Structure 1
Amino acid sequence: MEVSPSYLLTLLITKRRVCVLEASTDNNEKSWDDFREEHIESARILFFGNLSRNAAPVHPLQFQRYVRSLGVDGDCHVILYDRGDMIWATYAFWIFTLFGHNKVSVLSGGFDEWKRLQAGSEQYRTESGPGAYVQRIGNFQAEWKSNVICTFDDVLTNTELKTYDLVDAQDKEEYSGIGTGAIFGHIRSAVNIPIDDVFNWRDQRWLNNSDLSRVLSDAGLHRQKPVIVYCSTSVRSSMIWFALRRCNYNATIYFGSWPEWLIRAPDFLKIIPERRRTL
């Protein structure tokens, strides 16, 4: 799931079949400016807006067409990184997994770690410009993997059958319903694991697997049960999903997330402070 910068460096030096993609927020001027100014050697930019629309994954054929335009083949090793948030790389990882790419990894530490290592070794090269030239269109074939995504009906059924543990990846204020602006709250029976509990932002590192397992266990998750994760957009869910996968949990993402549940679910399955219900 994760590869070290030294591992990626070896792949680049030995000219192995690798597609390095910088996961970015969206196709805007700042994203392009940052990428053109400097990026990891041979990288191409991957825009969030081409992976998801209105909090839902794009159609498999749309994704297939897009990543083929970036030169992605079915047998190349896709390595994803971002510029410090990790959230965009893990979301892209989930999308690649959803659409059936079997060899995809996230670069540990992302661009910041690559730059840190570059200070001690010129082998960790970066480039400027629009990205590596695509010599030919890729041949990746998208295939929908339903085991990593679930729907409103799946979650609704689970409120009765309790087949899955349910994790809310919103921050604590949103989960508790005291976040400002929108009507926040959570699905009945969901436990809260914010992304701050699994990722060290200062060091740009995941908790080690031992500490991760403790966080998940302390939240009440059972390793023998699969897990449904949701947030407000699916983006933060991808980080918790990634953490669960690192610890060998069987996890899936409810892509409709809290906004869909708020609209469609019966009131008794929504935990919202009474004063927020009329906003």
Structure 2
Amino acid sequence: MSSLIKAADLAAALDSSSPPLVLDVTWQLGGPPGIEAYRVAHIPGAHFVDLAAELSGPHTPGGAGGRHPMPEPAAFGASMRRLGIGPETDVVVYDGGPSVAAARAWWLLRYFGHDRVRVLDGGFAAWTAERHPVTDVVPEPAAPGAFVPRPGGMTRLDADETAALVAAGGVLLDARAAERFRGETEPIDAKAGHIPGAVSAPATEYTHADGRFHEPAELKEYFAARGAVHGARVAAYCGSGATAAHEVLALSLAGVPAALYAGSWSDWITDPERPVATGE
């Protein structure tokens, strides 16, 4: 199963006898709560998922795990069962923009053992651009699913494992904006810069202006230019792990399996002994 689905294909699937379960993961860093946009308009039948509350664990400012810590298996499992997910459930996730929040949901479901999940390419913007129907009607709660979290479906790294990957010649991609990578600005976290040995690969460079991913051949070329090829040890990180999940998704579309440093930069800098690099 492809990890992406086009808006037209989702519309057709929703009209079929076996429609997928659709999850709206609208979220914006520093913006209004996603539930507000969901209440105004969403894909008919979509259930809302809160990134901070359901796709992240409790956050302790300055604590290990980063700004969006991994959720505990029991808590994540309970949220997915509430949404109606079971072993045979086909899931489509989307958000309002370039699919960063949706990719977080995609990665977590796969990490916890559910691979029947796809991301709507281009998100809600692509859906509305093609004039598919929207609604403000909140669907009835889904019948509880039988989802059982089984960690390990995707490769997850901690800070020490990330440092070891770089030391061993692996490729560590930084999905943040290039100016944050260089340490010229840092609007969110307490320190500016990047993990030594990392390579800048901003998420905006492998997606179109409308948020859709480039074609697989283009993605393969883009990542190969940064040393990320099939057979290499590749990992991605960002500020808090969400955009890095988006990069792992892009890498998978290019045919390059990659690990995720889930805590990312906001976790790395909690230990003052960890080195920080700036510049190119």
- State the alpha-carbon separation in 2 of the partners of residues 180 and 260 from structure 1: 15
Q: CA deviation at 1:30?
A: 4.8
Alignment of 1:47 with 2:50, yes or no, is yes
Q: Describe the SS at the equivalent of 1:189.
A: coil
**Matched residue, 1:77:** 90
> What residue ranges of structure 2 are gaps of 5+ in the alignment?
60-67
**Which structure would you say has the larger Rg?**
1
Alignment of 1:262 with 2:262, yes or no, is no
- State the alpha-carbon separation in 1 of the partners of residues 142 and 241 from structure 2: 33
Alignment of 1:25 with 2:38, yes or no, is no
1:177 aligned to which of 183, 187, 200:
183
> What residue ranges of structure 1 are gaps of 5+ in the alignment?
119-123, 274-279
**Matched residue, 1:276:** none
**Matched residue, 2:114:** 101
**Matched residue, 2:64:** none
Q: Describe the SS at the equivalent of 2:260.
A: strand
Alignment of 1:110 with 2:110, yes or no, is no
- State the alpha-carbon separation in 2 of the partners of residues 29 and 255 from structure 1: 24
Alignment of 1:125 with 2:133, yes or no, is yes
Q: CA deviation at 1:6?
A: 2.3
Q: CA deviation at 1:64?
A: 0.8
User: Identity of aligned pairs, percent?
Assistant: 24
Q: Describe the SS at the equivalent of 1:225.
A: coil
1:67 aligned to which of 74, 77, 80:
80
- State the alpha-carbon separation in 1 of the partners of residues 153 and 97 from structure 2: 29
Q: CA deviation at 1:67?
A: 1.4
**Higher relative strand content:** 1
- State the alpha-carbon separation in 2 of the partners of residues 226 and 161 from structure 1: 9
**Matched residue, 1:88:** 101
Note if contact 2:162-2:261 (Cα within 8 Å) is conserved in structure 1.
yes
**Matched residue, 2:7:** 5
**Higher relative helix content:** 1
Alignment of 1:219 with 2:222, yes or no, is no
- State the alpha-carbon separation in 2 of the partners of residues 135 and 222 from structure 1: 41
Task: Report Cα offsets for 1:89-139 as digits up to 9, x if no partner.
Answer: 111111111111120001122212222222xxxxx3322222x21242111
Q: Describe the SS at the equivalent of 2:118.
A: strand
Say how many residue pairs are matched: 263
Q: Describe the SS at the equivalent of 2:173.
A: strand
Amino acid at match of 1:160: A
Task: Report Cα offsets for 1:11-37 as digits up to 9, x if no partner.
Answer: 2212315110011228x9753332122
- State the alpha-carbon separation in 2 of the partners of residues 30 and 161 from structure 1: 41
Distance 1:33 1:208, change over 3 A: same
TM-score for both structures, normalised by structure 2: 0.86
Alignment of 1:153 with 2:157, yes or no, is no
Q: Describe the SS at the equivalent of 1:264.
A: coil
